[in-house]
Amino acid sequence: MTVTETHCPYCALQCGMTLQADAADRGKVVRLEPADFPVNRGGLCAKGWTAAELLGHEDRLLTPLVRERKGGPLRPASWDEALGVITAAIRRSQREYGRDSVGAFGGGGLTNEKAYTLGKFVRVALRSSAIDYNGRFCMSSAATAANRSFGVDRGLPFPLEDVARAQTLMLVGANPADAMPPSMQHLEAGRAAGARHIVVDPRRTATARDAYLHLQPLPGTDLALANGLLHIAVREGLIDEAFIRDRTTGFDAVRAAVTGYWPQRVERMTGVSETDMRECVRLLATQRPSMILTARGAEQHSNGTDTAQAWLNLALALGLVGRPYEGYGTITGQGNGQGGREHGQKADQLPGYRRLDDPAARAHVAGVWGIDADELPRPGLSAYEMLDRLGTPGGVRVLLVLASNIAVSAPHSSRMLERLRSLDLLVVSDIFLSETAALADVVLPTAQWAEEEGTMTNLEGRVIRRRRALPPPGEVRTDLSVLKELADRLGRGQFFSDRPREVFEELRRASAGGVADYAGITYERIDKEDGVFWPCPAEDHPGTPRLFADGFPTADGRARFHRVEHRDPHETPDRQFPYVLTTGRLMRQYQSGTQTRRVKELDAAAPEPMAELHPDLARRHGIADGDWVELRTRRGAARMRARCDPGVRPDTIFAPFHWPGTNVLTDPALDPHSRMPAFKACAVAISRADGPAEAADVSASAAGIAAGAARADFGQVDELIGDGVGARGGGVRVSRTQSELDRTRGGA
Ligand SMILES: Nc1nc2c(c(=O)[nH]1)N[C@H]1C(S)=C(S)[C@@H](COP(=O)(O)OP(=O)(O)OC[C@H]3O[C@@H](n4cnc5c(=O)[nH]c(N)nc54)[C@H](O)[C@@H]3O)O[C@H]1N2
Ligand SMILES: Nc1nc2c(c(=O)[nH]1)N[C@H]1C(S)=C(S)[C@@H](COP(=O)(O)OP(=O)(O)OC[C@H]3O[C@@H](n4cnc5c(=O)[nH]c(N)nc54)[C@H](O)[C@@H]3O)O[C@H]1N2
Ligand code: SF4
Ligand SMILES: [Mo]
């Protein structure tokens, strides 16, 4: 038996866990137990407990797959053949259409080493500007706001344990009771010590139920609410004038802006009562220490950056930032959502959270990489913009996707599927045949978390180690070794390593002097210290659990206020689409569902797409709990099971995005600063449906769109998977995939 201490493969909490593996049985994990790590203290959620089930799962991809011709089936292939096809396509495309015709899409689940290598691969091996990643769909709005105010974006500027010391905790658009259940220990400890919690959510979530105050605004009106709270704080003399004077700039413009947000007006805009607003301000200002945390509910809007900014302004005006157990933070979501946004898989970024358009940053990183700074491409397009142009003139024609299932998780799926299909070559690296992999021309099987080494940076900015407990099965390789081999074949292999430790050593040097400075972090220190918080510029530097005590990494050392004004969501209800659709998560499914839909216990608990709506709204449309309903937006229609819940606003419908279908409906309108799509608010209509038939299928006419204008035809996906792949040797069982697809089409 071997015992390995590592962390959960899923979310940014990165709960510590111990794996016991049987060396005699090819490293089969026989026991998984929670560890006493500071974030989870012996707790795990249902996803963490069952994570090992996927290691030996029968759906696991075990060999590469290739599709010989568009429309033909996928069949097993050797690595040599698969990588040969990719290299040939890259060469051909770059010769004919230029370097930027080849690009990559990464993910916040990749280790730091892999995210760093992917960014470097695109800039150094492909010499292309076309790279971005799914974090753009996650916390980019809060990141943008934090960068412009604080000069740094580290989700939580303090350890999670500090949450227990806050006496007032405000959670805006965050549902940690479902999204990060073990984190609730820290909230509960706070409440036991007398803390008051305020939750801002259009739904009465499990998190809201335990709170002292639940404010239930109309989706997309958080900015008005935050400005309204600041208006009250100013009027009642509750702002911290000394802090504002000594440590910030720009407050006058904000003060002027919030005069227009008087309580009655904000009550009309948001639906939150004046009494609740006043109580909320009183608590934040006087029952200290106080913290304000935002998550996707506030941030995933076409004005998400300004909304995060409004909450940040409030925290600054109350003088919370940089004081013990106080402050503003955003709750990062994906396993390495923090590290994944620091080391260069963003279109405009170099490692260490450096800017690709900064000459000094280019010179430094080029020096570490051993290339000429002029060889580095310029910043490319953000995630949705890059995806939206796939296969179009000037757009990417050969795309590598690592660790994202965009066919399900990107907004406006019908458009996304059409763009993915128009590529000359789509390459997807995954553990399973995700909906995106099923569309690929080449599928590469990759190692899972317990089969690889690397580092992750959790929601607190704590760099931790992922450790290998067993070897990958079959012919599976790690993403690092695939990128290295592709670079070899492209004649640039001398710049790359496939050894995580070596890559980390290089990352340390590349990040040195940057905002996210890892120079002083070593694998050994991580082992000894329960992880190390960046910035950590030297090996004798203790790391930085708490930021902003002495200043801000801005030019003048002060935090910057930014004036922000309410704007309506890009789409508001009208007669044809009379309600607001918002989307999010369930406790027992993860993201696009590739992983958790394959775990028996999780699948049984949350087996099908569902929509949560108020019983009054349901009655108005003759819908009973458990009925199938059809949701329609300007982009398409999808069928789901109705769940009636009096806790949701009667004008709002909530749908999780863990199945194909929800994103057929969502609005790809982008935030002008972060390029975040409006996942959390669009206009929707609802009606009873006879059954799941054609669920997730866009019915253009039903949506009032010219026929053929929008089709998200996930149903076609199964035709693209060949028989050969179904054989055990191929490592993919078609039956399961097919039944999933059937379900999306309605069990035809
Ligand atoms: N079980 C599970 N856990 C996860 C994940 C998962 O997929 N499943 N994903 C991980 C990732 S990547 C992320 S980013 C995090 C996300 O974690 P959260 O942000 O907590 O999760 P969401 O459900 O997306 O959104 C939170 C809440 O926002 C509310 N909301 C919707 N619209 C609005 C609005 O306009 N204003 C306000 N104030 N609230 C609104 C929703 O009702 C929802 O309850 O979770 C992580 N943890
Ligand atoms: N409507 C709506 N849409 C949303 C959201 C929402 O709230 N509402 N939330 C958005 C948010 S916050 C996020 S983070 C995105 C997430 O959406 P996605 O980017 O699709 O994230 P996952 O479903 O986690 O996809 C990760 C894929 O990579 C695979 N994988 C896991 N680890 C590895 C690895 O190490 N290497 C490789 N090559 N593959 C790996 C998994 O099997 C899975 O198929 O969705 C966004 N989409
Ligand atoms: S809360 Fe997140 S990290 Fe912890 S066990 Fe659940 S999914 Fe894993
Ligand atoms: Mo996320």
Q: Is 628 in the pocket of ligand 2 (CB under 6 A)?
A: no
Sequence-distant (≥ 6) Cβ neighbours of residue 302 within 8 angstroms:
567, 569, 570, 667, 669, 670, 671, 676, 677, 678
Instruction: Give 113: exposed, middle or buried? Use CB within 10 Å, 0-12, 13-18, 19+.
Output: buried
- CA of 299 from ligand 1 middle (Å) equals 10
The answer to which of 11-15, 511-515, 734-738 has the lowest mean pLDDT is 734-738
Domain around 631? 579-745
Rounded to whole angstroms, what are the CA distances from 732 to 190, 408, 484? 47, 20, 26
Segment holding 141, helix H or strand E: helix 140-150
Q: Is 296 in the pocket of ligand 1 (CB under 6 A)?
A: yes
- The predicted pLDDT at position 73 comes to 96
Report the first-to-last Cα separation within the chain, whole angstroms.
Answer: 46
Segment holding 418, helix H or strand E: helix 413-421
Please, which residues have CB less than 5 A from ligand 4, an ion?
138, 333-334
Average pLDDT rounded to a whole number, residues 433-444:
98
Examine residue 24 and state whether it is found in any structural domain, yes or no. no
Verify that 342 and 217 share a domain, yes or no.
no
Residue 119 · residue 344 · CB < 8 Å: yes
- pLDDT above 70 covers a percentage of the chain that reads 93
Among positive and negative, which fits the CA dihedral 450, 456, 462, 465? positive
Hey, how many other C-beta atoms are within 10 angstroms of the C-beta on 95? 10
- Ligand 1 atom at minimum distance from 679 CA: 32
Q: Is 434 in the pocket of ligand 2 (CB under 6 A)?
A: yes
> Is the predicted pLDDT of residue 721 greater than 70, yes or no?
no
- Strands 349-350 and 327-330 come out as unpaired
Name residue, tokens 């007669």: 575
- CA of 307 from ligand 3 middle (Å) equals 27
Verify that 112 and 149 share a domain, yes or no.
no
Q: Is 205 in the pocket of ligand 1 (CB under 6 A)?
A: yes
CA-nearest residue, atom 11 of ligand 1: 333
Q: Which of 330, 361, 376 is the last residue of a domain?
A: 330
Per residue in 65-87, pLDDT tens? 999 999 999 999 999 999 999 99
Q: Is 109 in the pocket of ligand 2 (CB under 6 A)?
A: yes
Per residue in 150-201, pLDDT tens? 999 999 999 999 999 999 999 999 999 999 999 999 999 999 999 999 999 9
CA-nearest residue, atom 36 of ligand 2: 403
pLDDT tier at 729, thresholds 50, 70, 90: very low
Quote the CA–CA distance of 447 and 456 in Å, as a whole number. 16
Per residue in 485-521, pLDDT tens? 999 999 999 999 999 999 999 999 999 999 999 999 9
pLDDT tier at 687, thresholds 50, 70, 90: very high
Verify that 115 and 177 share a domain, yes or no.
no
CA-nearest residue, atom 35 of ligand 2: 110
- CA of 332 from ligand 4 middle (Å) equals 7
Segment holding 487, helix H or strand E: helix 479-489
CA-nearest residue, atom 12 of ligand 2: 138
Q: Is 637 in the pocket of ligand 1 (CB under 6 A)?
A: no
Q: Is 136 in the pocket of ligand 2 (CB under 6 A)?
A: no
Closest-approaching ligand to the CA atom of 16:
3
Strand partners, 465: 455
Angle, nearest 10°, between helix axes 304-317 and 251-258? 110
3-state secondary structure 151-165: CCCCCCCCCHHHHHH
Hey, how many other C-beta atoms are within 10 angstroms of the C-beta on 257? 20
Q: Is 312 in the pocket of ligand 3 (CB under 6 A)?
A: no
- CA of 126 from ligand 4 middle (Å) equals 28
- The predicted pLDDT at position 693 comes to 55
Share of the chain residues as helix, strand and coil, in percent rounded to the nearest 5: 35, 20, 45
> Is the predicted pLDDT of residue 304 greater than 90, yes or no?
yes
Q: Is 592 in the pocket of ligand 2 (CB under 6 A)?
A: yes
Among positive and negative, which fits the CA dihedral 74, 76, 78, 79? positive
Quote the CA–CA distance of 320 and 285 in Å, as a whole number. 9
CATH of the domain at 187: 3.40.228.10
> Is the predicted pLDDT of residue 314 greater than 50, yes or no?
yes
> Is the predicted pLDDT of residue 740 greater than 50, yes or no?
no
Examine residue 468 and state whether it is found in any structural domain, yes or no. yes
Quote the CA–CA distance of 249 and 243 in Å, as a whole number. 10
Average pLDDT rounded to a whole number, residues 376-389:
97
Q: Is 335 in the pocket of ligand 1 (CB under 6 A)?
A: no
Average pLDDT rounded to a whole number, residues 399-409:
98
Q: How many domains does the chain have?
A: 3
Quote the CA–CA distance of 412 and 463 in Å, as a whole number. 34
Amino acid at 709: A
Sequence-distant (≥ 6) Cβ neighbours of residue 28 within 8 angstroms:
21, 22, 56, 470
Examine residue 548 and state whether it is found in any structural domain, yes or no. no
Provide the 8-state DSSP code for 438: G
Quote the CA–CA distance of 307 and 300 in Å, as a whole number. 9
- The predicted pLDDT at position 722 comes to 57
Structure tokens at 551: 């200043």
0.75 exceeded by pTM: yes
- CA of 331 from ligand 4 middle (Å) equals 9
pLDDT tier at 747, thresholds 50, 70, 90: very low
Verify that 360 and 371 share a domain, yes or no.
yes
Verify that 309 and 168 share a domain, yes or no.
yes
Q: Is 181 in the pocket of ligand 1 (CB under 6 A)?
A: no
Verify that 295 and 435 share a domain, yes or no.
no
Q: Is 333 in the pocket of ligand 1 (CB under 6 A)?
A: yes
- Ligand 2 atom at minimum distance from 585 CA: 7
Strand partners, 305: none
Query: 3-class SS at 607?
Result: coil
- The predicted pLDDT at position 690 comes to 87
Verify that 388 and 491 share a domain, yes or no.
yes
pLDDT tier at 25, thresholds 50, 70, 90: confident
Hey, how many other C-beta atoms are within 10 angstroms of the C-beta on 562? 17
- The predicted pLDDT at position 731 comes to 29
The upper half-sphere exposure of residue 63, i.e. CA atoms within 13 Å in the direction of its Cβ, equals 20
Q: Is 163 in the pocket of ligand 3 (CB under 6 A)?
A: no
Q: Is 173 in the pocket of ligand 1 (CB under 6 A)?
A: yes
Q: Is 222 in the pocket of ligand 1 (CB under 6 A)?
A: yes
Amino acid at 76: P
Q: Is 202 in the pocket of ligand 1 (CB under 6 A)?
A: yes
- CA of 108 from ligand 2 middle (Å) equals 8
Verify that 721 and 680 share a domain, yes or no.
yes
Closest-approaching ligand to the CA atom of 296:
1
* Plot region of 337 (φ>0 → left; ψ -120 to 50 → alpha; else → beta): alpha
Quote the CA–CA distance of 306 and 145 in Å, as a whole number. 7
CA-nearest residue, atom 31 of ligand 2: 403
Examine residue 485 and state whether it is found in any structural domain, yes or no. yes
- The predicted pLDDT at position 717 comes to 53
Residue 599 · residue 53 · CB < 8 Å: yes
- Ligand 2 atom at minimum distance from 665 CA: 1
By residue count, the chain amounts to 748
Q: What is the mean pLDDT of the chain?
A: 93
Question: Phi/psi of residue 207, each to 5°?
Answer: -65, -45
Verify that 649 and 585 share a domain, yes or no.
yes
Q: Which of 295, 330, 365 is the last residue of a domain?
A: 330
- Ligand 3 atom at minimum distance from 335 CA: 3
Q: Is 590 in the pocket of ligand 1 (CB under 6 A)?
A: yes
Residue 49 · residue 182 · CB < 8 Å: no
Closest-approaching ligand to the CA atom of 333:
1
> Is the predicted pLDDT of residue 259 greater than 80, yes or no?
yes
CATH of the domain at 418: 3.40.50.740
- CA of 298 from ligand 3 middle (Å) equals 22
Verify that 175 and 311 share a domain, yes or no.
yes
Per residue in 187-237, pLDDT tens? 999 999 999 999 999 999 999 999 999 999 999 999 999 999 999 999 999
Average pLDDT rounded to a whole number, residues 22-27:
86
Q: Is 14 in the pocket of ligand 3 (CB under 6 A)?
A: yes
Greatest Cα pair distance in the chain: 72
- Buried b / exposed e over 263-279, threshold 16 CB at 10 Å, is beebbebbbbeeebbeb
Examine residue 691 and state whether it is found in any structural domain, yes or no. yes
Q: Is 479 in the pocket of ligand 2 (CB under 6 A)?
A: yes
Quote the CA–CA distance of 407 and 404 in Å, as a whole number. 9
Per residue in 615-660, pLDDT tens? 999 999 999 999 999 999 999 999 999 999 999 999 999 999 999 9
Residue 526 · residue 464 · CB < 8 Å: yes
Pocket probe mutation, ligand 1, options 272, 296, 330, max atoms within 8 Å of Cβ: 296
Quote the CA–CA distance of 443 and 79 in Å, as a whole number. 10
Verify that 127 and 168 share a domain, yes or no.
no
- CA of 47 from ligand 2 middle (Å) equals 15
Query: 3-class SS at 723?
Result: helix
Q: Which of 533, 560, 591 is the last residue of a domain?
A: 533
Examine residue 25 and state whether it is found in any structural domain, yes or no. no
pLDDT tier at 716, thresholds 50, 70, 90: low
Verify that 313 and 447 share a domain, yes or no.
no
3-state secondary structure 613-657: ECHHHHHHCCCCCCCEEEEEECCEEEEEEEEECCCECCCEEEEEC
- CA of 594 from ligand 2 middle (Å) equals 8
Residue 582 · residue 648 · CB < 8 Å: no
- Ligand 3 atom at minimum distance from 179 CA: 1
DSSP 556-592: TS-EE---------SS---SSS-EEEEEE--TT--TT
Pocket probe mutation, ligand 3, options 40, 175, 456, 589, max atoms within 8 Å of Cβ: 40
Q: Is 175 in the pocket of ligand 1 (CB under 6 A)?
A: yes
Examine residue 413 and state whether it is found in any structural domain, yes or no. yes
DSSP 494-558: GG----HHHHHHHHHHHHTTSSS--TT--HHHHHHHTSEESP--STTS---SS--SS--SSTTS-
DSSP 201-243: -SB--HHHHTSSEEE-PPTT-HHHHHHHHHHHHHHTT-S-HHH
Per residue in 454-495, pLDDT tens? 999 999 999 999 999 999 999 999 999 999 999 999 999 999
- The predicted pLDDT at position 736 comes to 31
**Which of 619, 107, 173 is closest to 404 using CA atoms?**
107
Q: Is 649 in the pocket of ligand 1 (CB under 6 A)?
A: no
Q: Is 203 in the pocket of ligand 1 (CB under 6 A)?
A: yes
CATH of the domain at 585: 2.40.40.20
Examine residue 371 and state whether it is found in any structural domain, yes or no. yes
Query: 3-class SS at 278?
Result: helix
Per residue in 580-599, pLDDT tens? 999 999 999 999 999 999 99
